[in-house]
Each structure stands twice: as structure tokens, then as C-alpha cells.
A and B are shown apart, each in its own frame.
Chain A
Amino acid sequence: MRWSMRSAYMVGGMWSAFVACDFSGNDTNNFRPDVVYCEEALSYLASCCPKFDAGAVSCQYAYYSGATCFDKDGSPSGLAPTFSQSESQCILDESCKALVSTGVCARAEVHDAPGICP
């Protein structure tokens, strides 16, 4: 009985310390419209542009607030999808023929940077 009470206090203390560190500002959930649209655009480019390598482009999202238990004012960092939602939408709105003729495919094949459409 005594050990059970001691264990309960220990778990409660650890949980309080974890909450006090405030990691809630971090966001690594990728089920977001910009990520899904980016992946959709990659799939479309892969079907329209023969030399396009979808694996060379990242559609990852992450946000870290930078706050830690010892430094609550740490600088934030993170990742954003290579194609924003509007750029992905631009790619998806074009026909395959237009993607080739306007040079979108050529730019997508050599760059993984945003700004390829149109």
C-alpha cells in the first residue's frame, strides 16, 4: 500500500513537470490541406512529366516552438511543404499538355523549390 502511494506521487510529479515544460506549441501533424495538396501535385507531376522524381520533393510539415524546460524563449523552427497549397492547386488546374508546354515539368524536374507554376 505504501509503495503504491509512493508510485502514484512519482507519476504525478513527472506528469506535472512534463506539462510545465509546455510542448504544446509543437505541431508535427501532417494531415493538413497544404500537405495533402502537395502530395496530390507530386502525383500529378509524376504522371505528366516523364523525368520528374516525386521522391526528390518533400511535402513534410513540422513546427517546433523552440520552447524547452530550460529556455522558454527559444527560436521556433520547422518544415513546410515544398509546394504551397495555392501552387499545388495551380499545378492541378493545368492539363498535362500545358504543364509540358509552359515549362512547369522542366522546372519541376530540376528544381525542388517552389515557384514553378506557372
Chain B
Amino acid sequence: MKASLTWASASGALLLAFPVYAQGPGATELPPITVLPPLPISPPESPTPLPLPLPLPLPLSPPPSPPPAPMTSASRPAPAFEESIELRLDGGATYRNLFGIPMSMGTVEMGVGAHVSQHLAVYMAFQLDVGQTATGLAARAYTLAPSVEWVADRFRLGTGVELLWFDLIRASNGSALGQGGLGLHLGVSVDVLTLRRVTAFVGVRGQLDVLLGPEEASCLESVTGIGGLRF
């Protein structure tokens, strides 16, 4: 609009500047020609930018799916169980009591077994105890113990019978004072670390043995704290 007015003003100025030609031939005297300076012609202004059209609604995308729920032990599929042969090597400290005489012993045990089902393992173990009584009498015990273990995740509860031979070394002449017996054991352990196929565990085990003499039987009570590896 502003550009049109500018052009119109310029045209009017030219008509006023040349009245002779507008009147035509036959005019008597022409006035002096006045030359008007040209009007400045401004270039057409650039059109004002139109406002951007309102954004059309974008095509609807499917709503984001909720994050997956954390896996729980109930929803996690149980790993397929595989029967396996296991070796066990452990050791610890044993407290024993014979006729009311306390004795402390070091214990090493080696066992071989099979994990036969998801919650069941069977073992045959040999245990060696070496120690002394409170006054220094040397003592040894050899134990052969088949056992059954109930396996629940990291925990194991085992029990079984055992055959035992117990030796006490005399102070008087150094000979062995020995007796054999039968017993029961009960133990619980927990796996604390597993690297590849090696599992470290700790536990505690109680043993009650009856040493069978020809006249009378005597009891040998034991408690052992153990730590070991299972392969």
C-alpha cells in the first residue's frame, strides 16, 4: 500500500510539470519549465513475514510401553537342574567333650558326593581331627560319615550317621588309648561366594558319638565350626 501511494505521487508530480502537453497545440506562451527533483523512490519493502501456520497435530505415536517389571524369584524361570558330582574340602575347629574332659581339635574333612536333585545331595566324607585335652594329652579322631543334605538356594542342612575311631595318647607310656564308636551328625552351612564352579561356604556341625566298650559305652560330644570349598 505504501508503495502504491509513492508511485501515485510521482505520477501526479509529472503531470503538473508538463501542463503543455496536457492542453495540446495552440497554446500561446509556455511558462518556464520547472524541473522538480525526483522523488525518492524507496524500494518496495519486503513483505512482512506471515505468521507461521499453527502446527498441525502430529501423527499420534503409540504410547511408550511401561518399563519391564523387575524379575522376581517367582517370575524368574527356574534353571534347569543338572545332576553333578561334587568334591568338598573343608576344615575348622572342633570342641569335644569326653567324660567331662574338654578338648580342642583341628579338623580337616574331604568328601565326595552327588547333587542328585534340585534340593538333595548325598555325600561320603572322611574327617580327621587332631588336638589335645586341656592338660595337653594328645587326641585324634578318624570319622567316616555318609550324609544326606537338603539344599535350599545357598543353605544346606545335612545329617547322617558316622563311624568313628578315637585315640587318646597316654601320658604314662605314650601308647594310644583307642575306642571305636557310632554316631550321628547334624550340620548347616551357607554358601558365601561362588566363582565359576568353586563355592566357598561356612557352617557349623554337631556330632554325638557313642564309643562302644565291652562293659559300658561312653559319649563323645563335638561341635565344629567349618569353612571350606565345594567343587
Q: Please report A residues at the B interface, Cβ cutoff 8 Å.
A: 27, 29-33, 35-44, 46-47, 54-55, 57-60, 92
Q: Are A57 and B101 in contact (CB under 8 A)?
A: no
Closest 5 CB pairs of A and B: A31-B179, A42-B171, A43-B171, A44-B135, A43-B135
Nearest-CB distance from A25 to chain B (Å)? 11
**Cβ B173 vs Cβ A36 within 8 A:** no
Interchain CB contact under 8 A, A40 and B177: no
Q: Return 26 A-B CB contacts under 8 Å, by A number.
A: A27-B214, A29-B213, A31-B177, A31-B179, A33-B99, A33-B218, A35-B177, A36-B98, A36-B168, A36-B177, A37-B99, A38-B172, A39-B172, A40-B101, A40-B133, A40-B135, A42-B171, A42-B172, A46-B171, A54-B171, A55-B173, A58-B172, A59-B170, A59-B172, A60-B172, A92-B135
Give the CA-CA distance A31 to B214 in the complex, in Å.
10
- B:197-231 near A, CB below 8 Å: 211, 213-216, 218
Question: B19 on the interface (CB 8 Å rule)?
Answer: no
Contact of A30 among B99, B177, B216 (CB under 8 A): B177
- Say yes or no: A57-B172 contact (C-beta < 8 A), given A27-B215, A31-B178, A33-B99: yes
Whether A31 contacts B101 by the Cβ 8 Å rule is no
Q: Which residues of B contact A (CB under 8 A)?
A: 98-99, 101, 133-137, 168, 170-173, 177-179, 211, 213-216, 218
Task: Give the nearest-CB partner of B166 in chain A.
Answer: A31
What's the least CB distance linking B34 to chain A, in Å? 147
Q: In whole Å, how far is A65's beta carbon from the nearest beta carbon of chain B?
A: 13
B residues near A31, Cβ cutoff 8 Å: 177-179, 211, 213, 218
The reply to whether B101 and A55 contact each other, CB–CB distance below 8 Å, is no
CA distance A55 to B168 in the complex (A): 16
Q: A27-B214, A35-B177, A54-B172 are in contact. List 15 more A-B contacts (CB 8 A).
A: A32-B213, A32-B216, A33-B218, A36-B99, A36-B101, A38-B172, A39-B170, A39-B172, A39-B177, A40-B133, A40-B171, A43-B136, A59-B170, A59-B171, A60-B172
Question: Taking each of B133, B177, B179, which has the highest tally of chain A beta carbons within 10 Å of its own beta carbon?
Answer: B177
Minimum Cβ distance to chain A for residue B160 (Å): 24
**Cα A39 to Cα B214 with chains together (Å):** 21
Q: How far is the CA of A38 from the CA of B177 in the complex (A)?
A: 12
- When C-beta atoms are compared, the residue in chain B nearest to A34 turns out to be B99
Contacts of B171 in A (CB 8 A): 39-40, 42-43, 46, 54, 59
Q: Are B137 and A39 in contact (CB under 8 A)?
A: yes
- Chain A residues in 8 Å Cβ range of B133: 40, 43
Complex Cα gap A37–B215 (Å): 18
Complex CA–CA separation, A30 to B216 (angstroms):
11
Residue numbers in B under 8 Å from A38 (CB-CB) = 172
A59 to B101 alpha-carbon distance, docked (Å)? 17
